[in-house]
Structure 1
Amino acid sequence: MWIEKGNDPEGYELIKVEGTFLKKENVLIYPYDSQFTPMLRDKGFRERYDQVFISSLPGWGLCGKDASYTDGGDLIGITVSQEFEQMLGEVDTVIFAETDNSYSFKNNILPKVTAAIEAGKNVIFLMKITEQFHTIREQCIHKGVQFTSYRESNIEEAYQPAVSVQEIEDCRTPILALIGLAEYTNKFKLELELKAAFEDMGYRVSVVGSRPYCEFMGFHSFPTFMNELTNESDKILNYNKYIMHIEATEEPDLIIIAVPGGFMRYNNKITNDFGITAYEIFQAVVPDTAVLSLFHERYTSEYIEGILNSIKYKLGLDIDAINIANRQIDWIEMVSSQPGQVSTLTLNLDFMRKSTAECRLVTSIPVFNTMEKGDNEKIANLIIDKLSEAELALNF
Structure 2
Amino acid sequence: MKERIAIYPFTRELSSFILYKDQLKNYELVFAITPRGWDKFEDQKDRFAKIVLDEDTFYLNQCINYVDVLLLCKPILNVDLSLYENIIKLAKINGVKVVYVEELEALLINRIQNNWECLKSHEIVEVKRQEQSSIEVPVISVIGIGENCEKWDVQLGLRDFFLKKGYKVSLISNNKLLKLFGASIFPPVINSTEYKFEQQVGAINSYIKKVELMDSPDLIIIGVPGGIMRYNRYVHNGFGYAPFLVSNAFIPDITVVSLYCGYYEKEQLEEIKRTCLYKLGVNANYFHISSKVSQYNLESKQIDYFSIDQNYVNELVEKNSINGAFFNINKEPKEVFQRILEELHHNIPVM
- Normalised by the length of structure 2, the TM-score is 0.89
- Equivalent residue for 2:314, pick from 345, 350, 353: 353
Partner residue of 1:35?
Answer: 13
Alpha carbons of structure 1 residues 221 and 30: separation in structure 2 relative to 1, 3 Å? same
Alpha carbons of structure 1 residues 119 and 177: separation in structure 2 relative to 1, 3 Å? same
Alpha carbons of structure 1 residues 134 and 172: separation in structure 2 relative to 1, 3 Å? farther
Tell me how large the CA RMSD over aligned residues is. Answer: 2.6
- Equivalent residue for 2:59, pick from 55, 76, 85: 85
Distance 2:218 2:187 in 1: 21
Distance 1:47 1:256 in 2: 17
Partner residue of 2:231?
Answer: 266
Distance 1:117 1:368 in 2: 43
Q: CA deviation at 1:290?
A: 0.6
2:65 pairs with 1:95: no
Q: CA deviation at 1:370?
A: 1.0
Q: CA deviation at 1:163?
A: 3.5
Distance 2:128 2:202 in 1: 10
Partner residue of 2:152?
Answer: 188
Q: What do residues 243-283 of structure 1 show as CA deviations (whole Å, max 9, x unaligned)?
A: 11111111111111111121121322331111111111121
8 Å CA contact 1:173–1:254 kept in 2: the answer is yes
2:294 pairs with 1:329: yes
Partner residue of 2:117?
Answer: 148
In structure 1, runs of 5+ residues without a counterpart are 1-21, 141-146
Amino acid of the structure 1 residue aligned with 2:347: L
Alpha carbons of structure 1 residues 118 and 223: separation in structure 2 relative to 1, 3 Å? same
Distance 2:11 2:248 in 1: 35
Range with bigger deviation, 320-329 or 165-174: 165-174
Amino acid of the structure 1 residue aligned with 2:76: D
Q: CA deviation at 1:132?
A: 5.1
2:91 pairs with 1:116: yes
8 Å CA contact 1:163–1:238 kept in 2: the answer is yes
2:18 pairs with 1:57: no
8 Å CA contact 1:311–1:318 kept in 2: the answer is yes
Distance 1:149 1:68 in 2: 30
Q: CA deviation at 1:240?
A: 0.8
Alpha carbons of structure 1 residues 42 and 198: separation in structure 2 relative to 1, 3 Å? same
Partner residue of 2:48?
Answer: 76
Amino acid of the structure 2 residue aligned with 1:201: K
8 Å CA contact 1:188–1:210 kept in 2: the answer is no
Alpha carbons of structure 1 residues 50 and 347: separation in structure 2 relative to 1, 3 Å? same
Distance 2:202 2:66 in 1: 48
Q: What do residues 45-77 of structure 1 show as CA deviations (whole Å, max 9, x unaligned)?
A: 579766622323335x32x444849xxxx7422
Amino acid of the structure 2 residue aligned with 1:335: L
Distance 1:222 1:244 in 2: 12
In structure 2, runs of 5+ residues without a counterpart are none
8 Å CA contact 2:137–2:217 kept in 1: the answer is yes
Q: What do residues 361-390 of structure 1 show as CA deviations (whole Å, max 9, x unaligned)?
A: 2x1x31111121x21x233222222223xx
Distance 1:355 1:186 in 2: 16
Range with bigger deviation, 36-45 or 270-279: 36-45
Q: CA deviation at 1:289?
A: 1.1
SS of residue matched to 2:226:
coil
Amino acid of the structure 2 residue aligned with 1:81: D
Q: CA deviation at 1:203?
A: 0.8
2:167 pairs with 1:203: yes
Q: Which has the larger radius of gyration?
A: 1
Amino acid of the structure 2 residue aligned with 1:89: N
Alpha carbons of structure 1 residues 198 and 352: separation in structure 2 relative to 1, 3 Å? same
2:192 pairs with 1:228: yes
2:128 pairs with 1:167: no
Partner residue of 1:371?
Answer: 330
Q: CA deviation at 1:38?
A: 1.8
2:349 pairs with 1:380: no
Distance 1:131 1:360 in 2: 43
Amino acid of the structure 2 residue aligned with 1:320: N
Range with bigger deviation, 40-49 or 83-92: 40-49
Partner residue of 1:13?
Answer: none
SS of residue matched to 2:131:
coil
SS of residue matched to 1:291:
strand
Q: What do residues 185-237 of structure 1 show as CA deviations (whole Å, max 9, x unaligned)?
A: 11110111111111111111111123123211111123221112432221111
SS of residue matched to 1:308:
helix
8 Å CA contact 2:26–2:180 kept in 1: the answer is no
Q: CA deviation at 1:131?
A: 7.0
Amino acid of the structure 1 residue aligned with 2:54: S
Amino acid of the structure 2 residue aligned with 1:316: G
2:97 pairs with 1:125: no
8 Å CA contact 1:181–1:262 kept in 2: the answer is yes
Q: Percent identity?
A: 23
Distance 1:85 1:54 in 2: 13
Range with bigger deviation, 268-277 or 174-183: 268-277
Distance 2:278 2:117 in 1: 43
